[in-house]
């Protein structure tokens, strides 16, 4: 049975009760539950405004996103804030503030990786409030740099609730416990705080508008043990594309979850996408969030000397010169295991699109929606929603 057709029993019922069945009924979505896939505003609408700010989350909501995604880290005084990295040099103007010059660290270890910069764990929330968020991609709008502040998790919860009431539609939140082992080692464990705040918000059930995600299985398991009953998502990463094989490459720190590294578990992230790996994930989570080439691999063309061909003639051989390959069975395998699938991250810029997308980000979204993903993360939620509407129309929805 193809997922693009109605189940056989439904067809037989229509044949027997023709007068009662409408030929205009839309087909179900090819998702785990047959419903339309979620569009998650990745760090808000980070293609338009500095990521992880209330303004970015609001823009995502205004553009129609179903959920907003905060990455959570902790301040020195234990407050959960939204930043992608503990290193504030990447996403704030901290380097330009003279009073904080002496907070700069060199060779600071984050998940085993040496970094130089300013780290949230050395700042109180009051000090964090003095910083301004900046765009992390130099090719994205820079005119808002320094204008918006770093929000707390509590503020994001309040925003989602207020906007749900205002709009009459549910805005979900999709928080990630970021670098949880790193925080635990600093006595700033994220998990008890996340659980307590969601419970206080009245959001502690499978039907709550919440998805909690992490790259580290132990973080999800700990939150479950602490009594968190919301939907949980195991994130699955890799280092980069292997354009020769159409597979993925694995190098630290993106080769395996950091809690596995510390525990001496030598498996790679790739172990998670096997049937056995999916079955293991099902014991503590409800879905997976794989990097998207786990679903549609990318492969380049190579000459006799082993050089990747520059298909678009721009002088550089990169993702824009790779072609989408036949999909893997991951979506079907995950659904068979009872897990939903929310791949990341979809972006509009041509440098992030394969050769066969011809510079059209909508073409990439269409591939994944038609494969039956249950949701996806986008820096440009409006583009994702437009693509979803195209597939909905194809299925017969009006």
* Spatial separation of the C-alpha atoms in residues 164 and 171, rounded to whole Å: 5
Q: For residue 68, report the phi and psi dihedrals to the nearest 5 degrees.
A: -120, 145
**For domain 32-84+143-395, which CATH number applies: 3.40.190.10, 3.20.20.190, 3.40.50.920, 3.20.20.70?**
3.20.20.190
| Cα 19 to chain centroid, rounded | 45
* Spatial separation of the C-alpha atoms in residues 68 and 144, rounded to whole Å: 20
Q: Specify whether the CB–CB gap between 333 and 368 falls below 8 A.
A: no
Instruction: Summarize pLDDT for 208-234 with one digit per residue, the tens.
Output: 999 999 999 999 999 999 999 999 999
Binning the chain into helix, strand and coil, the percentages to the nearest 5 are 35, 20, 45
Nearest to 176 by CA among 210, 199, 149, 207: 210
* Spatial separation of the C-alpha atoms in residues 81 and 307, rounded to whole Å: 44
Cβ-based neighbours of 134, under 8 Å, separated by 6 or more: 50, 91, 92, 93, 142, 145, 146
Nearest to 190 by CA among 208, 215, 158: 215
Q: Specify whether the CB–CB gap between 373 and 387 falls below 8 A.
A: no
Structure tokens at 83: 């930043």
Cβ-based neighbours of 397, under 8 Å, separated by 6 or more: 26, 36
Q: For residue 55, report the phi and psi dihedrals to the nearest 5 degrees.
A: -65, -40
Alpha helices per DSSP H over 176-232: 180-185, 191-200, 217-225
Q: Specify whether the CB–CB gap between 246 and 294 falls below 8 A.
A: no
Give the up-direction half-sphere exposure of residue 189: CA atoms within 13 A in the CB hemisphere.
Answer: 12
User: What global pTM score does this model have?
Assistant: 0.93
Place of tokens 């596995």: 260
The residues pairing with 302 across neighbouring beta strands, listed in sequence order, are 308
DSSP symbol at 314:
S
Give the up-direction half-sphere exposure of residue 15: CA atoms within 13 A in the CB hemisphere.
Answer: 7
Over the range 156-185, which residues count as b (16 or more CB within 10 Å of their CB) and which as e? bbebbbebeeeeeeebbbbbbbbbbbbbbe
Cβ-based neighbours of 215, under 8 Å, separated by 6 or more: 235, 236, 237, 257, 258
Model pLDDT, residue 25: 86
Q: Supply the DSSP string of 51-74, one letter for each residue.
A: SSSHHHHHHHHHTT-SEEE-EEEE
Model pLDDT, residue 398: 80
User: For the chain, where do the domains classified as CATH 3.20.20.190 start and end?
Assistant: 32-84+143-395
User: Which residue numbers in the chain have pLDDT < 50?
Assistant: 1-22
């Amino acid at each position: 049975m193809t997922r693009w057709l109605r189940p056989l029993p439904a067809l037989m019922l229509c044949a027997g009760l023709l007068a009662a069945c409408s030929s205009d009924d839309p087909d179900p979505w090819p998702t785990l539950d047959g419903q339309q896939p979620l569009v998650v505003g990745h760090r808000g609408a980070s293609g338009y405004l500095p990521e992880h700010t209330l303004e970015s989350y609001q823009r995502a909501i205004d553009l129609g996103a179903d959920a907003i995604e905060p990455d959570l880290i902790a301040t020195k005084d234990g407050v959960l804030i939204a930043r992608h990295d503990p290193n504030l040099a990447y996403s704030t103007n901290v380097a330009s503030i003279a009073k904080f010059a002496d907070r700069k660290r060199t060779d600071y270890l984050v998940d085993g990786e040496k970094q130089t910069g300013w780290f949230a764990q050395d700042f109180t929330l009051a000090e964090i409030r003095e910083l301004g968020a900046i765009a992390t991609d130099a090719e994205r709008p820079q005119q808002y740099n320094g204008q918006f502040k770093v929000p707390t998790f509590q503020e994001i919860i309040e925003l989602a609730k207020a906007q749900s009431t205002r709009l009459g539609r549910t805005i979900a939140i999709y928080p990630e416990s970021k670098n949880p082992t790193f925080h635990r080692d600093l006595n700033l464990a994220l998990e008890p705080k996340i659980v307590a705040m969601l419970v206080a918000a009245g959001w502690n059930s499978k039907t709550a508008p919440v998805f909690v995600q992490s790259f580290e299985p132990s973080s999800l398991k700990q939150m479950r043990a602490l009594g968190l009953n919301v939907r949980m998502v195991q994130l699955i990463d890799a280092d980069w594309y292997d354009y020769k094989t159409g597979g993925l490459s694995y190098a630290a720190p993106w080769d395996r979850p950091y809690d596995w590294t510390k525990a001496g578990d030598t498996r790679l992230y790739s172990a998670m996408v096997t049937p056995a790996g999916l079955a293991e994930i099902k014991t503590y989570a409800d879905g997976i969030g794989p990097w998207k080439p786990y679903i549609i691999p990318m492969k380049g063309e190579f000459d006799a000397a082993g050089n990747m061909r520059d298909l678009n003639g721009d002088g550089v051989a990169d993702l824009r010169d790779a072609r989408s390959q036949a999909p893997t069975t991951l979506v079907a395998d995950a659904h068979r295991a009872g897990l939903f699938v929310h791949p990341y991250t979809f972006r509009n810029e041509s440098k992030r699109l394969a050769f066969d997308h011809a510079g059209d980000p909508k073409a990439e979204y269409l591939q994944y929606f038609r494969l039956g993903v249950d949701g996806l993360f986008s820096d440009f939620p409006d583009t994702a929603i437009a693509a979803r509407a195209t597939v909905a129309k194809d299925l017969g929805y009006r």
